[in-house]
Structure 1
């Protein structure tokens, strides 16, 4: 009998998340700016920026994840517009590019902080808690290489923080 993989949701931790991307947060000092352009500049030749908004229905915890995605050649940025809390799950890739669910990292994010996924990072799509929500999503699309990859995985349960 196979035991289902359960991953606890952690508080946002920029150092733990760093191999997968970075968080987008407002500066603490009035008048200060934080720039995220460097991560968004990694993109396929011939691609164009795509900016869209979405509307996401809420989920409840514990949450069984069976579908993940990645964008092998470009970063993807989610900025909350009207979000209470949301879930971020990322996982590294094996040498052959397949995801490693047993090494997944999951965080419970406040609606006041965005996230940028590095190119090639397997991640959960926009998943919100508490209420229907909307994000602004920025990424690059086009060019010679297809960049959207979706994969069904054995269920991974994301558990509420203890």
Structure 2
């Protein structure tokens, strides 16, 4: 069984897999007569296929504890998928490169409080994984005719944390 070390989330390290959604940058401009700072276009939702569109949903995720054994990863061939916590609770993000249609070389990140992520279309990732605390999320993903999830069992489980 492989062991995967968790590293802090950074925009640079996560860029090959998706967009980091975060307030930790200068705002783009002010609106509402200067009473609101807008952090504009932090991620670009993708939605391809028949009758495809981006949708917004809410999700309440039950917590996991570390160490965690990862046995399954998934990807979405027709659209991106964004997870934005509605609290300051960090969550675990596990992503992997694609090698011949299967996840390879996984990386584990722990978000900073308030950070969210947008997985690029076709990026291998683990399940939504809050740690120790039930967490509510705003989700932006694709709805369309085609099934938009490919799930695979890992040949060898990975222990995280």
Given the two structures, how large is their TM-score scaled by the length of structure 2? 0.85
**Cα distance between partner residues in 2 of 1:58 and 1:21:** 23
Q: Indicate the residue corresponding to 2:71 in structure 1.
A: 66
**Are 1:34 and 2:40 an aligned pair?**
yes
More helix by proportion, 1 or 2?
1
Q: CA deviation at 1:45?
A: 4.4
Gaps of 5+ in 1: none
**Cα distance between partner residues in 1 of 2:136 and 2:16:** 26
**Cα distance between partner residues in 1 of 2:69 and 2:133:** 18
- For 2:12, what is the secondary structure of its paired residue? helix
Q: CA deviation at 1:68?
A: 1.4
Q: Indicate the residue corresponding to 1:99 in structure 2.
A: 103
- For 1:119, what is the secondary structure of its paired residue? coil
Would you say how many aligned residue pairs link Structure 1 and Structure 2? 151
**Cα distance between partner residues in 2 of 1:76 and 1:94:** 21
**Cα distance between partner residues in 2 of 1:92 and 1:67:** 14
CA RMSD of aligned residues (A): 1.8
Gaps of 5+ in 2: 31-36
Higher mean alpha-carbon deviation, 45-54 vs 75-84, is at 45-54
**Are 1:151 and 2:148 an aligned pair?**
no
- For 2:13, what is the secondary structure of its paired residue? helix
User: Is the CA contact (8 Å cut-off) linking 2:18 and 2:117 kept in structure 1?
Assistant: yes
- For 1:152, what is the secondary structure of its paired residue? strand
- For 2:8, what is the secondary structure of its paired residue? coil
Relative distance call for 1:51 and 1:125 in structure 2 (3 A) is: same
Q: CA deviation at 1:42?
A: 4.8
- For 2:159, what is the secondary structure of its paired residue? strand
What whole-Å deviation, never above 9, does each CA across 1:115-148 have from its counterpart, x for those lacking one? Answer: 00000001011101121111111111214x3211
Given the two structures, how large is their TM-score scaled by the length of structure 1? 0.84
- For 1:59, what is the secondary structure of its paired residue? coil
**Are 1:49 and 2:54 an aligned pair?**
yes
Q: CA deviation at 1:32?
A: 4.1
- For 2:103, what is the secondary structure of its paired residue? coil
**Cα distance between partner residues in 1 of 2:59 and 2:129:** 11
